[in-house]
Amino acid sequence: MAEHPFALGLAPRSDRTESFVASGAADIARLKPVQPVTLLRPHAARAAARFFVEKFPGKSLYAVKANPSPDLLRVLWDGGVTHYDVASIGEVRLVSETLPDATLCFMHPVKAVEAIAEAYHGHGVRTFSLDSLEELDKIVSACATDGVAASDLNLLVRVRVSSEHSKLSLASKFGADPSELKALLMAARQASDALGLCFHVGSQAMTPAAYAEAMNRVRDAIVEAAVTVDIVDVGGGFPSSYPGMEPPPLEAYFAVIHESFEKLPISYSAELWCEPGRALCAEYASVLVRVEKRRGDELYINDGAYGTLFDAAHIGWRFPVRLVRDEDSDTRPHSFSFYGPTCDDLDHMVGPFELPGDVGPGDYIEIGMLGAYGSAMRTRFNGFGSANGWSVVVTDAPMASLYGDVAAPSRSNVVTL
């Protein structure tokens, strides 16, 4: 490693590319990086993609907002994911450019007319979600050509459902109320080639019952409106494994969804969709950080609330952690909180994070399961962070997994910094 004296320094050097094989965090820690290093595991994301493609009883759309990395998008495509849930014109452009053959579904229920028009006329988007008659009017108007309404729209009406079984609620901002559904479904039926219903049970749903209850709401809406439904989209919410949040196997969720879908009064050719985000990318990345100071049970580290640890700071999310040393510590575990590198008191991750009691300045810690939302939320606040930072592909297993033993690629793979 002596041939890489500038590796992983204060900032990426645009004029220098360094490559080496990295089996895991320990290889990187030996280089004594000054800034946080994102450890990428494409094999883990590919395994998650294959799992959904092969086992979910329908079509899986990756929710791009969870991690919009073009490299990740390509990995998921290689794993068999061909449909993408985009929620902004920026995401439409990104996926269209990265994966020209992908099918894009614009699933934000409130969109600018200009965004709808560009998506339809410029990028071939034909699937849109909505939760109001006003949004339906916008879609119909924006997709018209010379005053003639489009005849190839897939319109998915979003139903408001409970988030009581999930760690993060998505029940208040979007979704039509039951009193609005009949008129909205009947109007959308007239404007669409394929009509669907969709919902979101909230992020990190901890029981399959969340989907069974939501599907009951879908059934009631279909019966009351008496319309032919071609698509049922159960949205996201599929969980990953975190400390204190160990969900049932994903197969249990799939079984409940399939059973509920089979009982719906829908077209015999109707399609079942889902929109996993976290479940497809959480295991894709972790972050290696350095301890800069210890004050009792508080560790000052070089990443935080304005970097990849937004969720840890603002909603108290706990991530798996481990001390990265050449020799294992034999000190008893201790509960720590983290402070990030900025001058802001809000840059505080309460945890608790369990680490050996002798951790101190100069030590490195790997924080796992940050492939979902971690990199997507990163900023340059207070002069810390960078546009992309250092990223290194590693070949070991993720720190937690719902997909069993994740096979890593051959060690012959070379990592580009």
Classify strands 103-106 and 194-198 as parallel, antiparallel or unpaired. Answer: unpaired
Placement of tokens 């909230």 in the chain? 202
Residue among 282, 289, 280, 311 at smallest CA distance from 389 = 289
Q: Treating both helix axes as pointing N-terminal to C-terminal, what angle do 209-225 and 178-191 enclose, rounded to 10 degrees?
A: 70
- Are the CB atoms for 413 and 43 separated by under 8 Å? no
Residue 120 is given by DSSP the state I
Neighbouring CB atoms inside 10 A of 313's CB total: 21
Instruction: Choose, from 143, 274, 281, 343, the residue flagged as catalytic.
Output: 343
Report residue 248 as tokens.
Answer: 């049932």
> Going by C-beta distance under 8 Å and a sequence separation of 6 or more, which residues neighbour residue 290?
33, 34, 36, 301, 302, 362, 363, 364, 365
Question: How many angstroms separate the CA atoms of 69 and 372, rounded?
Answer: 11
At 52, which helix (H) or strand (E)? Answer: helix 42-55
- HSE-CB for 369 with a 13 A CA cutoff: 21
Placement of tokens 């280089």 in the chain? 31
Residue 231 is given by DSSP the state E
Question: How many angstroms separate the CA atoms of 57 and 258, rounded?
Answer: 6
Question: How many angstroms separate the CA atoms of 355 and 322, rounded?
Answer: 6
- Are the CB atoms for 339 and 304 separated by under 8 Å? yes
Determine phi and psi for 398, rounding to 5 degrees: -65, 165
Q: Is the preceding peptide bond at 352 cis, omega within 30 degrees of 0?
A: yes
Question: How many angstroms separate the CA atoms of 351 and 337, rounded?
Answer: 5
Whether 343 is a known active-site residue: answer: yes
Determine phi and psi for 397, rounding to 5 degrees: -80, 155
Q: Which residues are catalytic?
A: 343
